[in-house]
């Protein structure tokens, strides 16, 4: 699969097999993230790779508990509100039971923290598609970055005090075998040419 095909056929996966991909394949995905561009070539994105099922379940329970405490407001971002409502209902697993969760973090106060991590996450999603893995961008830990319980939990696994959680990636084999690669119609993202 060439780069353009890997980009154009990438879709989010939200149903995963429990089979853990081989470490070498996961490492290829992570290396693709590590080779993403960064502001001034700072290379400060921190990748935390979770593959332990018990830790992932504990993290999902914690995230559900903390989202369930959030008051719903009218101006709340739709995806954020969906996470809160699902948490209140119960049984919410923010990482879709993926066998791998890659959490990205970067330096607090660094102006390119989100941009650098976004480039890394996109590289990893494209690499995952090329390697026949499913993936899905995960924002919930970023949204809970100021939550003490979540930060303490992640701190046990390497998140530093001077880092902010910038995103995450659920990763694994799609439950259907190969990732969904059916093209989606583009209804947004307008293009303006200035000639």
User: Which residue range is the domain that position 66 belongs to?
Assistant: 28-172
Establish if 50 belongs to a structural domain. yes
Give the domain CATH number at 60: 3.40.109.10
Instruction: Confirm whether 188 is domain-assigned.
Output: no
pLDDT tens string for the chain (195 positions)?
Answer: 899 999 999 999 999 999 999 999 999 999 999 999 999 999 999 999 999 999 999 999 999 999 989 888 888 888 888 888 888 888 899 999 999 999 999 999 999 999 999 999 999 999 999 999 999 999 999 999 999 999 999 999 999 999 999 999 999 999 998 898 988 888 999 999 999
Answer whether residue 182 is part of any domain. Answer: no
Q: Tell me, what's the pLDDT at 79?
A: 85
pLDDT at residue 142, as a whole number: 96
In-domain check, residue 134: yes
Question: In this predicted structure, what is the pLDDT of residue 86?
Answer: 84
Could you tell me if residue 71 is inside a domain?
A: yes
Model pLDDT, residue 158 = 97
Q: Is residue 45 part of a domain?
A: yes
Task: Please count the structural domains in the chain.
Answer: 1
Residue-level pLDDT at 87: 85
**Secondary structure of the chain in HEC code, one letter for each residue:** CCHHHHHHCCCECCCECCCCCCHHHHHHHHHHHHCCCCHHHCCCCEEEEECCHHHHHHHHHHHHHHHHCCCCCCCCCHHHHHHHHHHHHCCCCCCCCCCEEEEEEEECCCCCHHHHHHHHHHHHHHHHHHCCCEEEEECHHHHCCCCHHHHHHHHCCCCCCCEEEEEEEEEECECCECCCCCCCCCCCCCCCCCC
**Residue 156: count of CB within 10 angstroms of its CB:** 8
Is 120 within the bounds of a domain?
yes
In a domain, 47, yes or no: yes
Predicted confidence at residue 70, as pLDDT, reads 85
Secondary structure (3-state) at 187: coil
The reported pLDDT for the residue numbered 81 is 84
> Which stretch of DSSP H or E encloses residue 163?
strand 163-172
Evaluate whether 166 touches 39 at the Cβ level (below 8 Å). Answer: no
Predicted local confidence at residue 185, as pLDDT = 87
Model pLDDT, residue 125: 98
């Amino acid at each position: 699969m060439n780069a353009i095909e890997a980009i154009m056929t990438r879709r989010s996966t939200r149903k995963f097999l429990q089979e853990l991909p081989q470490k070498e394949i996961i490492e290829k995905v992570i290396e693709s993230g590590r080779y993403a561009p960064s502001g001034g070539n700072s290379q400060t994105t921190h990748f935390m790779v979770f593959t332990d099922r018990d830790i992932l379940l504990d993290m999902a329970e914690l995230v559900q508990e903390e989202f369930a405490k959030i008051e719903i407001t009218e101006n709340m971002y739709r995806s954020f509100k969906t996470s809160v409502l699902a948490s209140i209902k119960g049984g919410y697993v923010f990482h879709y039971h993926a066998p791998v969760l890659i959490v990205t973090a970067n330096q607090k106060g660094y102006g390119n923290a989100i941009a650098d991590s976004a480039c890394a996450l996109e590289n990893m999603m494209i690499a995952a598609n090329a390697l026949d893995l499913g993936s899905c961008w995960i924002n919930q830990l970023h949204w809970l970055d100021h939550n003490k319980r979540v930060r303490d939990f992640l701190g046990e696994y390497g998140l530093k005090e001077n880092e902010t959680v910038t995103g995450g990636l659920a990763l694994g084999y799609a439950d259907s075998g190969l990732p969904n690669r059916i093209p989606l119609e583009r209804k947004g993202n307008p293009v303006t040419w200035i000639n």
